[in-house]
């Protein structure tokens, strides 16, 4: 067994063990808490919520819980095996997504591996325990199916069960349908404009499967609403103006430099390569680049499309990346390397799991929440945006002012939140309008500083992370 370990096998083992280790991170996404609470709601009520059950500002208003199946799965995993299970499962999802990308990056093991590593680096800002990771995984799988369907058209039929699954996991299912439509449009263009010999059987299968995929979209608790929901989200001013991930990437920040490097590498590779670019690849690059430059959420789409194009055009260069075949000594040495990486991955993941309580305390107001459990708020509470989900999970009988579901709250309420949090002139009127009695925000916020000197408010709790202000009766 050990004698069969080539340098290529070792390279791949080290690459994907390393990716599994580094993609395993603490559960610190602000939205994870209301996702867990939604999963708990579904498990207890045996139904998917149609209206908001967690806030008082939007109580009873319509809510499209498009991630319901992911949320139920997250809750059951956390209930049965704790946060360790979520850390491991989502790291496995990410690693699998990158492995599927690797399979699309050409025959050169090393160039494909380097391209995969670069792609992982560029998508790091969206890693975490979050439903978007499932869309990254399924987009990677969908692209693999579409590309390989040219040789094996029957692979397209696998998109049917994937559509039913994806539409219940996350609204990113629309990416799969858009990719299918772009592949089909490029195929038609190449046939009619470039006069490429058509494969009519493949084209008919593609068109039929795409129609069937569209017909399967309503097979979810929200029915036909899922046709319009992704478009509404993309066009929502509230999402674009208040949610950082829907904004354009800021290339002054280091975390977006790997994405910039892939963009530049794409242009350089295409300009230096003698191989012409297919209409399909050009269309996919143009659409995905436009989308990714407009929204951080779309960076993975461009990376998944561009990385294989870069790797394939580099071919087998440089040849030094193809070392001599193994010898018995080399095989033993390779096994030692793999074992060392496996130990490193195990130790790192164990450390991440061990540090989860500390990470939660560092990022969320755990001590302030413990105080609120002992001293329940007398009236409506105003909370920091990023803490809304945490309060929903930790204080189940306290409804929040706002949380990470920006699509539920809309632009008007998000604007009100911003005015209060920044202690603008309308702050006190908004607090009065909602009859707010308790406020929990970071101590360095403008609201905390302003209300401490305002008449009628008193500090009932303070630590380095949070301050709780109560309105005097």
216-261 pLDDT, tens digit each:
999 999 999 999 999 888 887 777 777 888 889 999 999 999 999 9
pLDDT at 321: 47
User: Could you tell me if residue 14 is inside a domain?
Assistant: no
Residue 439, SS3? strand
User: Could you tell me if residue 415 is inside a domain?
Assistant: yes
Joined together, the tokens standing for residue 317 give: 């260069």
Provide the 10 A C-beta neighbour count for residue 41.
21
Separation CA 335–CA 322 (nearest Å):
19
Specify whether the CB–CB gap between 97 and 135 falls below 8 A: no
Joined together, the tokens standing for residue 225 give: 């609403």
- DSSP 8-class letter at 382: E
- Its domain, for residue 444, covers 364-471
In order of 141, 258, 267, the CA distances from 302 in angstroms are 15, 12, 13
Identify the bridge partners of residue 55 per DSSP, sorted by sequence position: 400
- Same structural domain, 400 and 300: no
pLDDT at 320: 47
Q: Span 291-295, mean pLDDT?
A: 94
Q: What tens digit of pLDDT does each residue of 41-59 get?
A: 999 999 999 999 999 999 9
User: Could you tell me if residue 238 is inside a domain?
Assistant: yes
- Same structural domain, 190 and 269: yes
Instruction: Check pLDDT > 50 for residue 29.
Output: yes
- Same structural domain, 233 and 153: yes
Specify whether the CB–CB gap between 10 and 89 falls below 8 A: no
User: Could you tell me if residue 235 is inside a domain?
Assistant: yes
Residue 194, SS3? coil
Separation CA 438–CA 134 (nearest Å):
37
Give me the torsion for CA of 56, 62, 67, 72, rounded to 10°: 60
User: End of a domain among 321, 355, 372?
Assistant: 321
**Paired sense of beta strands 467-471 and 438-441, if any:** antiparallel
- Same structural domain, 317 and 368: no
Q: How many domains does the chain have?
A: 2
User: Could you tell me if residue 21 is inside a domain?
Assistant: no
Joined together, the tokens standing for residue 303 give: 């990376």
- Same structural domain, 303 and 373: no
Identify the bridge partners of residue 416 per DSSP, sorted by sequence position: none
The DSSP result for 39-98, as a single string, is HHHHHHHSS--SB--SBSSSTTSB---TTHHHHHHHHHHHHHHHHHHHHHHHHHHHHHHH
pLDDT at 158: 97
Look at the block and give the residue holding tokens 């096998």.
Answer: 9
- Same structural domain, 192 and 308: yes
pLDDT at 200: 73
In order of 153, 413, 444, the CA distances from 441 in angstroms are 56, 17, 8
Cα three-residue angle 196-198-201, rounded to 5 degrees: 160
pLDDT band at 209 (very low <50, low <70, confident <90, very high): very high
Provide the 10 A C-beta neighbour count for residue 101.
28
pLDDT at 201: 77
- DSSP 8-class letter at 297: G
- Same structural domain, 213 and 303: yes
- Same structural domain, 297 and 417: no
- Same structural domain, 411 and 462: yes
User: Could you tell me if residue 425 is inside a domain?
Assistant: yes
User: Could you tell me if residue 245 is inside a domain?
Assistant: yes
- Same structural domain, 240 and 385: no
pLDDT band at 2 (very low <50, low <70, confident <90, very high): low
Rg (CA), the chain: 25
- Same structural domain, 152 and 216: yes
Q: What tens digit of pLDDT does each residue of 82-119 get?
A: 999 999 999 999 999 999 999 999 988 999 999 999 99
User: End of a domain among 290, 321, 352?
Assistant: 321
- Same structural domain, 412 and 266: no
Separation CA 103–CA 109 (nearest Å):
9
User: Could you tell me if residue 70 is inside a domain?
Assistant: no
């Amino acid at each position: 067994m050990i004698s069969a370990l080539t340098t290529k096998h070792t390279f791949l083992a080290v690459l994907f063990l390393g990716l599994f280790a580094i993609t395993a991170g603490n559960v610190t996404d602000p939205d994870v808490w209301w996702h867990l609470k939604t999963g708990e709601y579904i498990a207890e009520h045996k139904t998917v919520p149609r209206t908001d059950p967690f806030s008082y500002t939007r109580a009873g208003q319509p809510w499209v819980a498009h991630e319901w199946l992911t949320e139920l799965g997250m809750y059951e995993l956390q209930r049965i095996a704790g946060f360790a299970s979520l850390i491991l499962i989502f790291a496995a999802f990410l690693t699998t997504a990158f492995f599927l990308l690797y399979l699309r990056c050409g025959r050169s093991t090393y160039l494909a591996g380097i391209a995969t590593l670069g792609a992982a680096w560029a998508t790091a800002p969206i890693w975490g325990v979050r439903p978007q990771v499932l869309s990254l995984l399924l987009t990677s799988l969908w692209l693999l199916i579409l590309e390989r369907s040219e040789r094996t058209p029957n692979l397209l039929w696998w998109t049917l069960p994937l559509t039913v699954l994806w539409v219940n996991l996350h609204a990113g299912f629309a990416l799969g349908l858009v990719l299918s439509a772009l592949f089909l449009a490029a195929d038609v263009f190449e046939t009619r404009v470039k006069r490429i010999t058509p494969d009519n059987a493949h084209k008919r299968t593609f068109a039929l499967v795409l129609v069937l995929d569209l017909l399967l979209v309503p097979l979810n608790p929200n029915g036909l609403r899922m046709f319009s929901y992704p478009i509404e989200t993309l066009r929502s001013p509230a999402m674009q103006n208040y949610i950082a991930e829907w904004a354009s990437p800021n290339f002054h920040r280091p975390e977006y430099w790997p994405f910039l490097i892939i963009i530049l590498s794409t242009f350089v590779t295409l300009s230096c390569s003698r191989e012409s670019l297919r209409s399909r690849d050009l269309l996919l690059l143009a659409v995905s680049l436009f989308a990714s430059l407009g929204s951080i959420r779309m960076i993975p789409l461009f990376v998944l499309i561009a990385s294989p194009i870069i790797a394939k055009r580099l071919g087998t260069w440089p040849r030094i990346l193809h070392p001599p075949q193994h010898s018995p000594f080399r095989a033993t040495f390779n096994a030692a390397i793999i074992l060392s990486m496996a130990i490193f991955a195990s130790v790192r993941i164990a450390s991440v799991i061990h540090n989860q309580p500390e990470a939660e305390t560092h990022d969320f107001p755990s001590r302030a929440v413990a105080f609120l459990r002992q001293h329940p708020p007398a009236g409506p509470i105003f909370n920091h945006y990023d803490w809304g989900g945490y309060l929903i999970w930790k204080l189940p009988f306290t409804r929040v002012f706002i949380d990470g579901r920006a699509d539920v709250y809309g632009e008007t309420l998000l604007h009100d939140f911003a005015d209060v949090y920044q202690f603008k002139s309308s702050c006190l009127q908004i607090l009065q309008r909602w009859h707010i009695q308790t406020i929990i925000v970071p101590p360095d916020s403008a609201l905390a500083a302003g209300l401490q000197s305002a008449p009628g408010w008193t500090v009932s709790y303070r630590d380095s992370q949070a301050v709780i202000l109560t309105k005097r009766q």
